[in-house]
Amino acid sequence: MKIRPLKIAGAFEITPQQHPDPRGVFLEAYKAGALAEAVGHPLDLQQVNTSVSAAGVLRGIHFADVPPSQAKYVMCARGAVLDIAVDIRVGSPTFGQWDSVLLDDITRRAIYLAEGLGHAFMALEDNSTVVYLCSAGYNPGREHGITPLDETVGIEWPTTTPAGNPLTPLRSEKDTAAPTLIEAKEQGLLPTWEECQAFYKELNNK
């Protein structure tokens, strides 16, 4: 398993080693020890979510209040998605920037996002199935969003599928109505770099 840090601190790309044979393929999709070594602490697995999306479905940008927020280890069991980590931590050196990992059922990569980061993805194929390992359960009172089409963030979403067919973004009503990054900052919804660093230190010292 190879773990590569992304340009957003606290986000990592995980590439498993696959072992194919005439029967199919075997891989270790998640290794607690390897992830803990890269991140600085274990993932406290509290909830596993699964979503199935048609091509063009755009989910996010989602985040939760810090603490405890919600760290995520995200995989695509079927199909393909472009998965995005967004730095929404006010005061961070990379505030407002993003990085991406293509998750699919060929490379079988995963992405890890630390608490306090924004998360979004676009499905590139019908029935794309995403599995999320989460460090905290869903709490609607602490969950927030930013519009994934925010020009300030400027995510370069795909316009075609891997087969070359056009993609039309399809969002939920909630994601469509979500504020921009600047609006969310003005509303006091975003975590700060300082409080996230303090929380990471607390997790690392457990």
- Residue 173: per-residue pLDDT: 97
Tokens of 124: 């590139």
Name the residue ranges covered by the structural domains of the chain. 2-204
**Mean of per-residue pLDDT scores for the chain:** 97
| 178 three-class SS | coil
H or E element in which residue 37 lies: helix 32-39
- Residue 148: per-residue pLDDT: 97
Under a CB-based contact definition with an 8 Å cutoff, are residues 145 and 174 in contact?
yes
Q: How far apart are CA 180 and CA 109, in angstroms?
A: 29
Given 41, 62, 119, 144, which residue is catalytic? 62
* Residue 62 bears catalytic tag: yes
Q: How far apart are CA 61 and CA 109, in angstroms?
A: 20
Please give the CATH number for the structural domain made up of 2-204. 2.60.120.10
* Tens of pLDDT, residues 7-41: 999 999 999 999 999 999 999 999 999 999 999 99
* Residue 119 bears catalytic tag: no
H or E element in which residue 58 lies: strand 58-64
- Residue 206: per-residue pLDDT: 81
* Tens of pLDDT, residues 95-114: 999 999 999 999 999 999 99
* Tens of pLDDT, residues 106-149: 999 999 999 999 999 999 999 999 999 999 999 999 999 999 99
Please list the residues that pair with 128 across neighbouring strands. Answer: 53
Strands 11-15 vs 110-113: parallel, antiparallel or unpaired: antiparallel
Of 78-82, 106-110, 161-165, 179-183, give the lowest mean pLDDT range.
161-165
